[in-house]
Amino acid sequence: MPGNTGSIEKARAYRERMRARGFRPVQIWVPDTRTADFRAEAHRQSRAVARSAREREDQAFVDAVSDRGAE
SS3 string, the chain, reads CCCCHHHHHHHHHHHHHHHHCCCCCCCCCCCCCCCHHHHHHHHHHHHHHHHCCCHHHHHHHHHHHCCCCCC
- Per the structure, the complete domain to which residue 11 belongs is given by 5-65
Specify if 70 maps to a domain: no
Model confidence at 60: pLDDT above 80: yes
Specify if 16 maps to a domain: yes
Specify if 34 maps to a domain: yes
Specify if 71 maps to a domain: no
**For the chain, what is the mean pLDDT?**
91
Model confidence at 49: pLDDT above 90: no
- For residue 69, name the pLDDT band (cuts at 50, 70, 90): confident
Domain total of the chain: 1
